[in-house]
């Protein structure tokens, strides 16, 4: 029988512990991009090598989220948080100790991949602990704090990275060590109480989903390097998608599957994951494209570009708290729909002002776009996880995070192609207007568009040295990207309006026979236990 959630002070201590635990994963999504030029120069890395120093982390993070979620449910959430933190911190230390010379490239890429693996083990377990520590009617507020504070660290990454890189690029990895130490101390003090369900691990399913996600994400990530016309891109993506289809079919016939695919029969779970997937086409890419815009079009330094992103998170953090309370009081539909609509309007207004090359004319657009994402992101994620059994919170979190990271990789690839294509066209016209023959202008524009956007926000300012026509053309290309982002969020709003149901999710009885080992972590917490075949509970 499930026990009641812990007292208020201990619950928020648990929440603080989990925020510190996942803080490293959020910071590392953006902090490394700022230091890319310094890393490449000092270690003498190839262009492909330095790109994989960024991508290896994102790739393993996406590929192993489902495994991390399932492992947390079967081995124990608290145990997996500790293991994940130790792996992540150890890999961070090794990244900071990367030797110079020939081993540098392989060393850095390998330990960046280990970082991603540690994050994939840690994050689903940490989120599951937060969900189990709070009653259903309090989760919206709790997870709004979780996503608001932890998500805000994504914006701090470029700012912190800019300043740390002025000392040494190695510090961007070493900064994770004190954060990990605080997380481990808080976990030891708060002693989160969670329940596990021992079960055999589905390694066949793990191989299929890891291979499918890795291959398809690899294809998306390499599209800007190889070009969409390269047949290897299509082959990688197609092979990855085929493995994912085979994975779904195999899981239906597996006694103890990695993912209970029947969970997608729960309407709210499926719709919220669809909304999250659509919105993630925008949410992670906006950091990279706005950082590029600030450094290239506005001429900001890397640290100034990071400050640019803080305006986005001013809106995000405030709105996420309001959205969490709206979820607790009236259900997920209102904040999710409102957030998608506000984000669409914000990106549309932002697109209209980027060509002014004046941040003062854009700052409220940036805040509005951030507020829209804040309103919808936490309620959608919380509502999706709430639909799972209390014994499957880790698994549900693994699914939602896989969807989010997969969509983010797709968004970066597709929107990156939109940016490069539009920029190339505009640069060609500008160069022709300056007297270059069309063929030469086209070749020069193709080269410039790839060189300036290859780093994905990893420049160090220098906008003053960029010709005015290039700055204006880049601003117009960014405008096209933001218009696409507005359209994407409008589609997400439509899906939420049609697919979600109004009303507060109802409490449901505990899962029959839902016992399981507690690996010394205590008894189960209260929570919705609709299982994998129900849990609509009055809609979203």
User: What tens digit of pLDDT does each residue of 354-378 get?
Assistant: 999 988 899 999 999 999 999 998 8
Q: In the prediction, which pLDDT does 9 show?
A: 58
DSSP calls for 259-283: S-GGGGGSHHHHHHHHHHHHHHHHH
Rounded to whole angstroms, how far apart are CA atoms 123 and 81? 7
Rounded to whole angstroms, how far apart are CA atoms 270 and 280? 15
Rounded to whole angstroms, how far apart are CA atoms 22 and 25? 5
Q: In the prediction, which pLDDT does 160 show?
A: 74
Q: In the prediction, which pLDDT does 450 show?
A: 63
472 to each of 87, 296, 365, 452, how far by Cα in Å?
45, 10, 19, 14
User: What tens digit of pLDDT does each residue of 95-152 get?
Assistant: 999 998 889 999 999 999 999 999 999 998 998 898 888 887 888 888 888 877 776 6
Residue with tokens 């812990």: 6
Give me the helices (H) in 4-103, please: 8-43, 47-75, 77-96
Residues 6+ apart with CB under 8 A from 106: none
Residues 6+ apart with CB under 8 A from 529: 2, 389, 390, 391, 508, 509, 510, 511, 514
Structure tokens that stand for 503 in this block:
């009303």
Which among 174, 127, 477 has a CA at the least distance from the CA of 297? 477
503 to each of 320, 381, 392, 518, 522, how far by Cα in Å?
19, 17, 24, 34, 33
Q: What is the pTM of this model?
A: 0.79
Q: Which residues of the chain have pLDDT under 50?
A: 1-4, 453-464, 507-540
Cβ proximity of 323 and 144 under 8 Å: yes
Rounded to whole angstroms, how far apart are CA atoms 431 and 444? 8
Residue with tokens 């779970």: 269
SS3 3: strand
Q: In the prediction, which pLDDT does 391 show?
A: 55
Cβ proximity of 289 and 419 under 8 Å: yes
Phi, psi of 56 (to 5 degrees): -60, -40
Q: In the prediction, which pLDDT does 30 show?
A: 67
Rounded to whole angstroms, how far apart are CA atoms 222 and 452? 17
Structure tokens that stand for 168 in this block:
């040494």
Q: In the prediction, which pLDDT does 355 show?
A: 94
SS3 297: coil
Sign of CA dihedral 298, 301, 302, 307: negative
Residue with tokens 């145990």: 79
Rounded to whole angstroms, how far apart are CA atoms 126 and 53? 26
Rounded to whole angstroms, how far apart are CA atoms 95 and 98? 5
Rounded to whole angstroms, how far apart are CA atoms 390 and 536? 15
Structure tokens that stand for 444 in this block:
């020069």
Residues 6+ apart with CB under 8 A from 114: 60, 87, 90, 91, 94
């Amino acid at each position: 029988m499930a026990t009641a959630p812990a007292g208020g002070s201990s619950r928020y201590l648990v929440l603080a512990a989990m925020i510190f635990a996942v803080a490293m994963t959020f910071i590392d999504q953006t902090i490394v991009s700022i230091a890319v030029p310094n890393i490449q120069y000092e270690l003498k890395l190839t262009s492909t090598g330095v790109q994989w120093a960024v991508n290896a982390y994102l790739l393993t993070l996406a590929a192993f989220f489902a495994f991390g979620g399932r492992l947390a449910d079967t081995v124990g959430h608290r145990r997996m948080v500790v293991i994940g933190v130790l792996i992540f911190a150890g890999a961070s230390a090794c990244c900071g100790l990367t030797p110079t010379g020939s081993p540098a490239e392989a060393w850095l890429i390998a330990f960046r991949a280990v970082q991603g693996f540690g994050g994939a083990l840690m994050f689903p377990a940490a989120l599951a602990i937060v969900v189990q520590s709070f009653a259903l009617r309090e989760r919206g507020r709790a997870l709004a704090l979780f996503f608001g504070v932890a998500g805000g660290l994504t914006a701090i990454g470029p700012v912190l990275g800019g300043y740390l890189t002025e000392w040494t690029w190695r510090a961007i990895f070493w900064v994770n060590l004190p954060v990990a130490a605080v997380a481990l101390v808080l976990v030891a003090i708060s002693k989160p109480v969670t329940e596990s369900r021992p079960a055999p691990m589905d390694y066949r399913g793990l191989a299929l989903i890891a291979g499918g996600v890795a291959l398809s994400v690899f294809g998306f990530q390499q599209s800007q390097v190889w070009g969409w016309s390269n047949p290897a891109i299509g082959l990688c993506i197609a092979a990855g998608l085929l493995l994912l289809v085979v994975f779904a079919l195999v899981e239906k016939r597996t006694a103890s599957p990695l993912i209970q695919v029947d969970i997608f029969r729960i309407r709210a779970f499926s719709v919220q994951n669809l909304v999250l997937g659509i919105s993630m086409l925008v949410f992670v890419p906006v950091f990279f494209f706005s950082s590029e815009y600030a450094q290239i079009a506005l001429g900001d330094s890397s640290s100034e570009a990071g400050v640019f992103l803080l305006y986005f998170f001013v809106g995000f953090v405030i709105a996420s708290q309001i959205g969490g309370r709206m979820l607790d009081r009236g259900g997920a539909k209102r904040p999710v729909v409102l957030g998608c609509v506000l984000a669409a309007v914000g990106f549309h207004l932002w697109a209209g002002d980027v060509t002014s090359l004046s941040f003062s004319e854009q700052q409220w657009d940036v805040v509005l776009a951030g507020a829209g994402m804040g309103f919808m992101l936490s309620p959608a994620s919380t509502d999706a996880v709430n639909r799972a059994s209390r014994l499957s919170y880790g698994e549900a979190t693994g699914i939602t995070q896989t969807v989010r990271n997969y969509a983010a990789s797709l968004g970066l690839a597709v929107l990156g192609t939109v940016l490069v294509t539009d920029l190339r066209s505009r640069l060609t016209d500008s160069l022709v207007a300056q007297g270059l023959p069309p063929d030469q202008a086209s070749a020069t524009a193709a080269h410039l568009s790839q060189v300036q956007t290859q780093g994905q926000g990893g420049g160090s300012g220098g906008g003053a040295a960029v010709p005015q026509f290039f700055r204006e053309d880049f601003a117009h290309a960014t405008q096209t990207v933001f218009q696409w982002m507005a359209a994407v969020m409008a589609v997400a709003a439509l899906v939420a309006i049609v697919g979600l149901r109004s009303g507060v999710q109802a409490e449901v009885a505990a899962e029959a026979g839902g016992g399981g080992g507690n690996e010394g972590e205590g008894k189960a917490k209260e929570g919705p236990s609709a299982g994998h075949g129900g849990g609509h509970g009055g809609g979203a």
